[in-house]
Amino acid sequence: MTLKVYADRMSQPSRTVILFCKLNGIDFEEVRIDLAKRQHLTPEFKEINPMKQVPVIVDGRFKLFESHAILIYLAGVFPGVADHWYPADVFKRAKIHSVLDWYHSNLRPGSATYVRNSTLAPLLGLPLNPKAAAEGEKLLLASLVQLESVWLKGKGRFLLGSSQPSIADLSLACGVMHLEILDDEDRDRILGPHKRVLKWIEDTRNATRPHFDEVHSVVFKLKEKLKKQRSKENGFGEPESIRKAPLHSKM
């Protein structure tokens, strides 16, 4: 039976799993679960994942949720997956796990919280929340410093000083790419000081093209949609200089 991947490409972990499958030639059926339409909250989807989150995979009778668990499963079960994604070396695996565990408590909640509460909330039927956005930004900025000083301090182009990307690179890169939803000024304000992070993102992107760009096309399309909306609003409401002021200056 064909592997089924239940996902919404607006979800960072969903993009990671889809990208891994495409990079490794894993045949799969992508089943879209539209988060904006609350499809993850339906009784039908709860039967697949009682946690009501994406992504989820169904491989025959086997169901699995949590993106990092899914990546590890796919790397171990499907033939032809190169060793560098999830090395057989137990010491290298342990290091990858340390990055993934750190990510879920730091970079991911930081980026997701900031983007959602500063930009995405209205599209989800929610109000913007400057206080939550400021808290997310604080965690995000601290995480980017740690990403450079700890995980990218080696001589290699990828995390942990590696010469080839691992599942950790995919997961974290998809998380950082979520910041592309922001307007260019805000995105550059946050990422601009972190040259090593920007170089790593570009290296990961180049190593995984064309699939990296295709999987993230939904992010770029949303960015353009929001850019057009802001352009239309320029002549109405509060001045652009006020709208684009840092969140902390509005609080």
pLDDT at 142: 98
The phi, psi pair for 197, rounded to 5°, reads -65, -45
In whole angstroms, give the CA distance from residue 186 to residue 99: 26
Q: pLDDT at position 224, please?
A: 93
pLDDT of amino acid 235: 57
| Sheet containing 3-7: order of strands | 28-32, 3-7, 56-59, 62-65
10-residue mean pLDDT series, the chain (251 residues): 95 97 98 95 97 97 97 97 98 98 97 96 91 98 98 93 97 97 96 98 98 97 90 59 38 32
Which pLDDT belongs to residue 250? 36
Task: Give the pLDDT score at 185.
Answer: 96
pTM of the model: 0.90
**pLDDT value of residue 232:** 80
Q: How many CA atoms lie within 13 A of 244 on its CB side?
A: 16
Residues in the chain: 251
Task: Give the whole-angstrom CA distance, residue 229 versus residue 39.
Answer: 26
